[in-house]
Amino acid sequence: TDRKKLHTAPVGQVFRLRPFHVLVATGGGYAGYKKYEDYKLEQLEKRGIEAPVKLASEWEVALYKSVPTRLLSRAWGRLNQVELPTWLRKPVYSLYIWTFGVNMKEAAVEDLHHYRNLSEFFRRKLKPQARPVCCLHSVISPSDGKILNFGQVKNCEVEQVKGVTYSLESFLGPRISTEELHFSQAPPGNSFQQQLVTKEGNELYHCVIYLAPGDYHCFHSPTDWRVSHRRHFPGSLMSVNPGVARWIKELFCHNERVVLTGDWKHGFFSLTAVGATNVGSIRIYFDRDLHTNSPRYSKGSYNDFSFVSNNNKEGIPMRKGEHLGEFNLGSTIVLIFEAPKDFKFHLKAGQKIRFGEALGSL
């Protein structure tokens, strides 16, 4: 009778999971998985061994697409906007810096306490001298990242990684009005690829750049060109890291993306920002009407917007190196453009590249 009574709470209350805990656990698990996958790929590359291509079956792709990645990405976006207590900022950001190898010495503001939330940290600006823009070459890298693939487009197919392709027409969507793009009308019998090539003797080229979570998240204009049209494809938000890109054929065609098309001095030019898991937000600075990962848009559709109007018949002029847009985490940039046959890339597959460095020239 002299023993003290032990009061216990219901089991449901003790093990109650809250959304914040679930998101933190999910994010931590993803970060660990991503680090492990990247480590395996790096080890194979160091040995000079190409990672074997093992494509996912239809049911595996369908199962992956059934995961509510769009909803989770919106939740992640809201979590990123939550202001962190000052005392918590350095530990949280330091963990992220260690996990993804972020170089904070390049940041315009190195003090971690300056960034009120994760979103501000992801979108950190760089010191002006950190990324000099190459003036000697006609096309520069629009972002930091890793070169997954590059070269000529052949048979209306583009390689997302070596050995894994996707359809050029599925990726860009139906042909845009020639009046908007200032192009001459191509013969109706030509293939989709041939319709994009406007000048005799030119070829169509592509370059795929993967932005890791630790990279600088803004992207810039890769050359001097005019943006005439924007096409937004609402879609899935599957991971686009190189391991998944080797696994899922036409991954970039499944995912949400924003296609900017226009022309440069050699003809057709396009830049596509591809979304990914936790990267539903794609922002184009001059396009206020663009809203990505929005519930009002359904998968399998697309919506167009023309920058050519009666008041502005030239579209949006962009200078090489000029700020163009940003992601909220890591993702992928795909360049598809027309150029003469003597255009040469100054790249190696798998190499790291930084914004402002040369991609290629004539």
- Compute the half-sphere exposure of residue 31: CA atoms within 13 Å on the CB side of its CA: 16
Q: What is the DSSP string of 88-127?
A: HHHHHHHHHHHHHT--GGGBS---GGG--SHHHHHTPPBP
287 is catalytic: no
Quick one: which H or E segment has residue 324? strand 323-327
DSSP bridge pairs for 271: 260, 335
Distance CA 143, CA 353 (A): 8
Dihedral pair phi/psi, residue 76, rounded to 5°:
-65, -40
3-state helix, strand, coil in the chain (%, to 5): 30, 25, 45
DSSP 8-state code for residue 310: S
Q: What is the CA radius of gyration of the chain?
A: 22
Dihedral pair phi/psi, residue 185, rounded to 5°:
-70, 125
- Which of the following is catalytic: 220, 232, 254, 266? 220
Distance CA 100, CA 120 (A): 17
Question: Under a CB-based contact definition with an 8 Å cutoff, are residues 235 and 254 in contact?
Answer: yes
331 is catalytic: yes
- Which of the following is catalytic: 141, 144, 217, 229? 144
- Please give the sequence-ordered ranges of beta strands (E in DSSP) within 124-264, or none if there are none: 139-140, 145-152, 157-161, 164-167, 202-210, 218-220, 225-233, 257-264
Question: Under a CB-based contact definition with an 8 Å cutoff, are residues 57 and 260 in contact?
Answer: no
144 is catalytic: yes
- Which of the following is catalytic: 73, 143, 281, 331? 331
**3-class secondary-structure state, position 214:** coil
Distance CA 269, CA 111 (A): 39
| Residue 178 identity | T
**3-class secondary-structure state, position 354:** coil
Q: Which residue has the tokens 């194979």?
A: 44
Dihedral pair phi/psi, residue 285, rounded to 5°:
-60, -35
Please give the positions annotated as active site.
Answer: 144, 220, 331
